[in-house]
């Protein structure tokens, strides 16, 4: 479903939530290095910085990706609902 700001309702994998800005930016750089194929995001929700990766329409796809990357991070990572960037391909219809 397209949201009012032009994004879709979907899922991302959250890597970390921390109040330490420096730690958050360091983790984002680490994510970019390890997973250049996926877009990563830093989100500030006072007082925490959250690092999220990916744009998935289906929770199942996000869970599968989480399982693939889970060994790269010492802390628990998990799937979260989020407004995602997505460009439908051709005549693709998005059902949510």
Structural domain range at position 58:
8-84
Which of 90, 88, 82 lies closest to 3 in space, CA to CA?
82
- Whether 96 is in a domain gets the answer no
Q: Is residue 79 part of a domain?
A: yes
Asked if pLDDT for residue 55 goes beyond 90, the answer is yes
Instruction: Report how far apart, in Å, the C-alpha atoms of 74 and of each of 15, 16, 28 are.
Output: 10, 10, 14
Answer whether residue 17 is part of any domain.
yes
Question: Is the distance from CB of 48 to CB of 16 less than 8 angstroms?
Answer: no
Residue 95 lies in a domain: no
Of the candidates 34, 38, 4, 31, which has an alpha carbon nearest to the alpha carbon of residue 16? Answer: 31
- Global pTM reads 0.85
Mean pLDDT score of the chain, rounded to an integer?
90
Q: Is residue 93 part of a domain?
A: no
Residue 4: pLDDT band with limits 50, 70, 90: low
CATH number at residue 31: 3.30.70.1070
- Would residue 92 count as lying in a domain? no
Residue 23 lies inside a defined structural domain of this protein: yes
pLDDT score, position 7 = 87
6-51 pLDDT per residue, tens: 789 999 999 999 999 999 999 999 999 999 999 999 999 999 999 9
Asked if residue 87 has pLDDT above 60, the reply is yes
Overall domain count for the chain:
1
Quote the pLDDT of residue 93. Answer: 60
Highest average pLDDT, of 51-55, 86-90, 91-95, comes from: 51-55
Domain annotation covers residue 34: yes
């Amino acid at each position: 479903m397209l949201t009012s700001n032009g994004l879709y309702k979907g899922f991302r994998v959250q890597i970390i939530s921390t109040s330490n800005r420096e730690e958050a930016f360091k983790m984002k750089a680490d994510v970019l290095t390890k997973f250049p194929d996926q877009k990563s995001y830093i989100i500030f929700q006072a007082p925490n910085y959250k690092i999220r990766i990916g744009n998935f329409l289906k929770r199942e796809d996000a869970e599968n990706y989480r399982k693939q990357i889970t060994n790269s991070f010492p802390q628990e990572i998990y799937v979260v609902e989020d407004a995602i960037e997505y460009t439908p391909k051709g005549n693709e219809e998005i059902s949510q």
